Amino acid sequence: MISSIVPYDAIIVGAGPAGITASIYLARKKLDILVISKDLGGQAALSSSIENYLGYRLITGPEFVKKFEEHVKAFNIEVKYEEVKAVKPKDGIFLVETNRNNYLANTVIIAAGKIPLHLNVPGEEEFIGRGVSYCAICDAPVFKDLPVVVVGGGNSALDAVLQLSKFTKQIYLVNITENLGGDEATREKVKKLSYVKIFNNCRITKIEGKNFVESVEVQNIKTNEKFKLNVKGVFILIGLRPGTDIDLPVKLNEKKEIVVDKDCKTSFPGIFAAGDVTDCTWKQIIIAAGEGAKAALSAYEYLKSKKEFLNGKYF
């Protein structure tokens, strides 16, 4: 069932930096818009500290997202916390299907960001919420003074180690590559923590426990030697995939990212995309916000070009 027979001027899929910026730009144009997202903040909400966003010397992810919420409320932007399943062309407009409702829109901006990758090892799915986590900033306090393992070697994993270090001094870091990646400054901070034991060239092959996580099996990928780490928490931060597990009529690249031009236009007229879900080279909060602004302005120009809007109330 369609929630309303009158289409929104624009529906924005995603409420991270790109989606929220797009919504504010369109709200300032006095358009009738709707933001649909599973959460508010996207990946920004998972950051323990943000030090490179203009105007903030240092701000935590939750504090940053609180600013999003205040901005959205200031413009009375309508937000629905639902999961978008499909965006389909329908009689010159678009049908946006979610897990709860269907909506109509004259334009759509996809700003669905990225989603954490899973290890796909025995025990992972079983223990999600019972020791397995993909967000250190969300769950670190639960593991106060308990042994934990962080899986990954990039910025997200290093950031998780630093976040966890505020609560426990028993941290293992399992990294599948020869050396840790990430920013040099963050990497050095982690290496200076004497209680963090790093296992390079290693991967987790199994997560075990009864009601909650009790241990992980680790394999050295060079020697094939296996050993066990007794831990209560497993933080998996091995990368992200684009949030394009949506039925979309747009072109994707080999990484499943939405292909966009310099104006954030996709291959399908009327559908725009911004932020980490696109093939934009650099995945940064400030870049996602800028791309969200571009997508909004492009959507506005598209609406102006539509015949029924030429003499409308907005233009």
Query: What pLDDT, in 10s, does the model give residues 277-299?
Result: 999 988 888 999 999 999 999 99
Question: Would you state the structure tokens that stand for residue 169, as one six-digit string?
Answer: 């001094």
Average pLDDT of the residues in 13-35: 96
What span, in angstroms and rounded, lies between the C-alpha atoms of 190 and 196? 7
Secondary element (H or E) of residue 218: strand 213-220
Count of structural domains, the chain: 2
Asked whether residue 4 carries a pLDDT value surpassing 70, the answer given is no
230 with 304, same domain: the answer is: no
Shared domain for 60 and 146, answered yes or no, is no
**Which CATH number characterizes residue 208's domain?**
3.50.50.60
Expressed as residue numbers, the domain containing 94 is 8-116+240-309
Regarding whether 110 and 27 lie in a shared domain, the answer is yes
**Percent of the chain as helix, strand, coil, to the nearest 5:** 25, 30, 45
Question: First vs last Cα of the chain: how many Å apart?
Answer: 31
In a domain, 87, yes or no: yes
Domain membership of residue 1 (yes or no) is no
Asked whether residue 203 falls in the same domain as residue 299, the answer is no
Q: pLDDT for 105-142, tens place per residue?
A: 999 999 999 988 999 999 999 999 899 998 888 789 89
Residue 218 has pLDDT above 90, yes or no: yes
Residue 110 bridge partners (DSSP) = 13, 273
Residues 139 and 202 in one domain: yes
β-pair type (226-230, 213-220) = antiparallel
What is the distance between the alpha carbons of residues 16 and 39, in angstroms, rounded to a whole number? 8
| Judgement on whether residues 255 and 173 belong to the same structural domain of the protein | no
| SS3 call for 88 | strand
Per residue in 239-284, pLDDT (tens digit) is 889 999 999 999 999 999 999 999 999 999 999 999 999 999 888 8
The predicted model scores a pTM of: 0.79
- Which of 210, 236, 262 terminates a domain? The answer is 236
